[in-house]
Amino acid sequence: MGNQALHPIRHRMGHYVSHLGEFDLALCVRFNRSSRRVWVRQLFCIVSKLGDGWFWYVVIMGILLSQQLEGLTASLHMIAAGLTGTWMYKSIKGKASRPRPFEVEQAISLGMPPLDRFSFPSGHTLHAVVFTMVALEYYPVLAWLLIPFTFLVAASRVVLGLHYPSDVLAGAIIGAVIAQISFLF
């Protein structure tokens, strides 16, 4: 009786998961359409390239140079949390092996080459959230710069056809969890 009782529940769960996947893909297609405008694609390519690490390296160096010894703790915290994020997302990506949206759906055009093979989770978003949360704990005055940039990085991943919205959401959640745990140490 146990298996028979669970069958309708599994069927409904599969139905909901299927609809979520369709919704995820539809959102991805809709966001990606905006990249047909050259200026939109160029803007998000720049944001994405900066999100590869360059922006965060400048922020860390800026904190070190402007705050000197006081900034060392914040900078080392950002680096440690970022390295943890790299380990985490690479571990998950290797196991999840989710293909990128442009590989699955012809309506999605690739805005720039991906840094690695798989889609889930978004490492750019994960790192943007980690670095932003850690930096803002020490220097809340940077919110005007870091929060909008983090949202732009997250959006760039979907607009450029590199990630599904669920990849970005998962990256943001994982990044937030890593940042919160890092404050315990």
pLDDT at 130: 97
Reply yes or no on whether the pLDDT at 183 is more than 90.
Answer: yes
Interval 27-61: pLDDT, tens: 888 898 988 899 999 999 999 999 999 999 999 99
How far apart CA 147 and CA 113 sit, in angstroms, is 25
Secondary structure string (H, E, C) spanning the chain: CHHHHHHHHHHHHHHHHHHHHHHHHHHHHHHHHHHHCHHHHHHHHHHHHHHHHHHHHHHHHHHHHHHCHHHHHHHHHHHHHHHHHHHHHHHHHHHHCCCCHHHHCCCCCCCCCCCCCCCCCCHHHHHHHHHHHHHHHHCHHHHHHHHHHHHHHHHHHHHCCCCCHHHHHHHHHHHHHHHHHHCCC
- Average of pLDDT values for 8-31? 67
- CATH code of residue 57: 1.20.144.10
pLDDT at 70: 87
- Average of pLDDT values for 69-88? 94
34 phi and psi angles, rounded to 5 deg: -65, -20
- Average of pLDDT values for 18-35? 82
Interval 1-12: pLDDT, tens: 455 555 544 555
| Structure tokens belonging to residue 44 | 């998000």
Considering only residues 115 and 147, tell me which one the structure prediction assigns the higher pLDDT. 147
How far apart CA 174 and CA 181 sit, in angstroms, is 11
| Structure tokens belonging to residue 39 | 């200026």
> Mean pLDDT in the chain?
89
Interval 147-168: pLDDT, tens: 999 999 999 999 999 999 999 9
In terms of Cβ atoms closer than 10 Å to its own Cβ (0-12, 13-18, 19+), residue 4 is exposed
Lowest mean pLDDT across 39-43, 64-68, 103-107, 130-134:
103-107
Reply yes or no on whether the pLDDT at 86 is more than 50.
Answer: yes
pLDDT at 13: 45
pLDDT at 138: 96
- Average of pLDDT values for 83-92? 94
Q: What total number of domains does the chain contain?
A: 1
| Structure tokens belonging to residue 97 | 């092996």
pLDDT at 128: 97
33: containing domain: 2-182
